[in-house]
Amino acid sequence: MYLGLDAGTSEIKGVVIDENGSLLASAGEPLTVQRPHPHWSEQDPAQWWQATQQVISRLRNKIGDRWSLIKSIGLSGQMHGAVLLNRDGKVLRPAILWNDTRSAEECRLLTEQAQELHDIAGNLAMPGFTAPKLLWVARNEPEIFEQIDTVLLPKDYLRWMMCGEKISDMSDAAGTLWLDVARRDWSDSLLAACGLTRDNMPRLAEGSEPAGTLKAEIAREWGLKDNVIIAGGGGDNAASAVGIGAVRPGDAFVSLGTSGVLFAVNDQYRPNPQSAVHAFCHALPHRWHQMSVMLTAASALRWLCQLLNTNETTLLSEVATLSLSEQQQSPIFLPYLSGERTPHNDPQATGAFHGLTHATNRAMLGYAVLEGVTFGIADGLKVLEEAGTHLNECSLIGGGSRSPWWAQLIADTLNLPIVTHLGGEAGGALGAARLGWLATGGAEAEVCKKPDIQHRYIPDAGRHQQLMPRLSQFRLLYQQQVLARKTLN
């Protein structure tokens, strides 16, 4: 059996699969995000480890006597987070997360200081990435920066706790802006631009390679054998791709989690930073991928439910009863609650409802949020197509994939068939387990099969045409927001 752990933003999730790839058990433990100042987003790494212990305990209880048969552990996690360790392995400050936007000025400085950034890293400098965070620490917390011995990504902090080794994989490392993405190695020049060297970085491994062995004391505590291999693992989206079987060029998926991602597999490195498209290494060797990333997706629906004192199931059922006329009279929602990446690279972007009237009810607000997030995905598809990536079909994963109504809305908006899969909500944790299986000798063709199709959503051409005027208005409203900010400044 194989264990997969996903260190997400909102929870630590774990799954166990067997030698047939069947999902045997899953468990999760929620996490909280601290926002002590505007644009800040932080978590205490100790919380990740405590939550991991809880998940292990629950999975162990669910699996029972077969638990000790686990051969390997795969890791997946939220990308870009900066965990700073001193020489003694002490965490120096709370981890700065992917959706923290405080380092906009540092992005400008990094771009000036590292003229080769776009060619080597294949991405624009954005506040979400790791490198600008370290420049921010150097400028604002120099006493912390001087003590840094190692910078780890979130899932690699868990690995370090499990095995005592500082190792990262190619897909996660590609999101730091310190990796030479084409060569799959650290870039000395990009590290130097941030006052760091490769001595401050973890060792690199492919996601499907062995990358550590569980400590004997942890194995005993968890009830596992003392030779359990830890795989290199992957950033959350690359691991999710492995879980959904998106491992061949042309494969693609949309992930609706805290963030929203449109992910396409490539057989070569295809950077297109001008459109804020991400070009990263895949979690599997000799492959890369492109992503459009929006910072707020399913989390916008959770945000609205909290404001309205309701739950997602209730609100989604109310949205499904709206007539076409009511949908067209609903407000337009800009989903930029944490700024935005693709295609705007705008940490100052804000969310907004436009077109509120006395007739607006909470179901119409719910519709507006679903539609606004979907329009953000459409913006991502547009720039991927401009970068030469053309899709014929797209899988849908993440928490948002549980809503058939939302899935159909995505199909109609993108004018693209959308497919959901059995177990698709397992996401990165399932992919992590599969990477663990590969690290013990599993064959890719067997391990990385696409899960069975749960449902296929065929786009409605008429509905697509009805949505296009609202999409145009959505794009215009963002441009008006930018213009208003420039005028006020």
For 46, the domain range is 2-245
pLDDT for the residue 312: 94
Give me the catalytic one of 172, 236, 251, 379: 236
Euclidean distance between CA atoms 95 and 42, whole angstroms: 5
Taking the C-alpha atoms of residue 153 and residue 138, their distance in angstroms, rounded to an integer, is 18
Domain assignment of residue 225, yes or no: yes
pLDDT recorded at residue 250:
87
Residues in the chain: 489
How many structural domains is the chain composed of? 1
**Domain annotation covers residue 250:** no
261 in a domain, yes or no? no
CA–CA dist 161, 386 (Å, integer): 42
Detail the residues annotated as belonging to a binding site.
79-80
Nearest to 263 by CA among 396, 365, 355, 99: 396
Give the annotated binding-site residues for substrate. Answer: 79-80
CATH of the domain at 109: 3.30.420.40
The verdict on residue 364 lying in a domain is no
Burial 280-303 (b: 16+ CB within 10 A, else e): bbbbbeebbbbbbbbbbbbbbbbe
| pTM, two decimal places | 0.85
Structure tokens at 402: 């549980």
Between CA 173 and CA 189 the distance in angstroms is: 15
Domain contains 13: yes
236 catalytically annotated:
yes
Is there a domain that residue 221 lies in?
Answer: yes
In a domain? residue 169: yes
Residue-level pLDDT, tens digit, the chain, 489 residues:
999 999 999 899 999 999 999 999 999 999 999 999 999 999 999 999 999 999 999 999 999 999 999 999 999 999 999 999 999 999 999 999 998 989 999 999 999 999 999 999 999 898 889 999 999 999 999 999 999 999 999 999 999 999 999 999 999 999 999 999 999 999 999 999 999 999 999 999 999 999 999 999 999 999 999 899 999 999 999 999 999 999 998 899 998 988 899 999 988 888 877 778 889 999 999 999 999 989 899 999 999 999 999 999 999 999 999 999 999 999 999 999 989 989 998 988 999 999 999 999 999 999 999 999 999 999 999 998 887 888 999 999 887 888 999 999 999 999 999 999 886 666 789 999 999 999 999 999 999 998 889 999 999 999 999 999 999 999 999 999 999 999 987
DSSP H stretches of helix in 211-323: 216-222, 236-244, 298-308, 312-319
Q: Tell me whether residue 104 is in a domain.
A: yes
